Amino acid sequence: MKLRSLFLSLFFIIFVYIEAILAQEVKEENEPVYITVTTLHGADDFDIDAWKEVEEEYFEKVTSKIDLIRSHEVLMSYFSPSYSEFKVINVINSWEDIMLINEMRSVLIEEAWPDEAERKAFFEKQNSFYKSKHSDEIYLTSDFSKKLVKEPGQNRPFTFMIKTNILSDTEDEDSYANYKTYVEEVVRKNHKILAYYPFNHFWGADSREFIEIFVSDSFSEVEKAHYENNALLSKIFPDEEERKQFLSSMYSAVDSQKSAFYKNVPSLSK
């Protein structure tokens, strides 16, 4: 990724390597883990096949061998044919593991490319796929995840809808309780939503950020999930006015919201 190795190394040393997603497990009941997200942007004249070959080599020789990285996903913007945006997501148990991971990465890189000239050439090629613009964010998991169930050996693409919420300074007193009800009675019971990951801000540009990641089988399933959400909510609140009041109260905690869609690269999933 354009300057990915350099960015991630520095980010690990100074702050934390980014978190990922999605088949994540909880180390202990209700104990949060770190989610790091690095957003990168493809260079002009991006060659997807050449990019994948390089990233798969790096993944096989380095990332896949670091057990402390519990989950790793590389997401590509769903609607961008120019490969303008990538998100690299990792799940890490603890802050202490971050420094250990950085040390492990350095050792694995030396082992994979012992010749300095070959090592330099590889990372120059990897970096050439990306523009210098990037951003790094760190989140903590919450108690309301619906985890992706993967069968042994399963490795296939999914569709990710990422909602970025900016929380309000004030909210209805029932907003949190209503959010909890919505997750338990709607999101977790909606079979079209394969997984749900809500993340609380830990480090980054805006402390008000609250991220929600919804995982579906395909983009068409996202729309079906929306209709199923409405059907499940209608069972809880058959009266339309009560339903509107419930949603109004829940969303009073959100000042603004935007959604974006991504697809993962199965060969780079851990």
Model confidence pLDDT, tens digit, residues 171-229: 999 999 999 999 999 999 999 999 999 999 988 878 999 999 999 999 999 999 999 99
Residues 6+ apart with CB under 8 A from 61: 108, 109, 111, 112
- Rounded Cα distance, 186 and 217, in Å: 18
Domain count, the chain: 2
Shared domain check, 93 and 167: no
Range of the domain at 21: 4-141
What one-character DSSP code corresponds to residue 173? T
Burial pattern 4-34, b for ≥16 Cβ within 10 A else e, equals bbebbeebbeebbbbbbbbbbeeeeeeebbb
Shared domain check, 114 and 14: yes
Q: Which residues pair with 127 in a beta bridge?
A: none
In a domain, 149, yes or no: no
Q: What is the CATH number of the domain that holds 211?
A: 3.30.70.100
17 pLDDT higher than 70: no
In a domain, 269, yes or no: no
Shared domain check, 221 and 170: yes
Shared domain check, 137 and 8: yes
4 pLDDT higher than 90: no
Shared domain check, 90 and 17: yes
Domain boundary among 108, 141, 174: 141
Model confidence pLDDT, tens digit, residues 37-88: 999 999 988 999 999 999 999 999 999 999 999 999 999 998 876 788 999 9
Domain boundary among 88, 113, 141: 141
Q: How far apart, in Å, are the Cα atoms of 195 and each of 117, 119, 160, 230?
A: 43, 38, 9, 18
CA 241 to chain centre: 35
Amino acid letter for position 3 = L
Model confidence pLDDT, tens digit, residues 118-152: 999 999 999 999 999 889 899 999 889 998 887 66
Shared domain check, 119 and 39: yes
Shared domain check, 128 and 37: yes
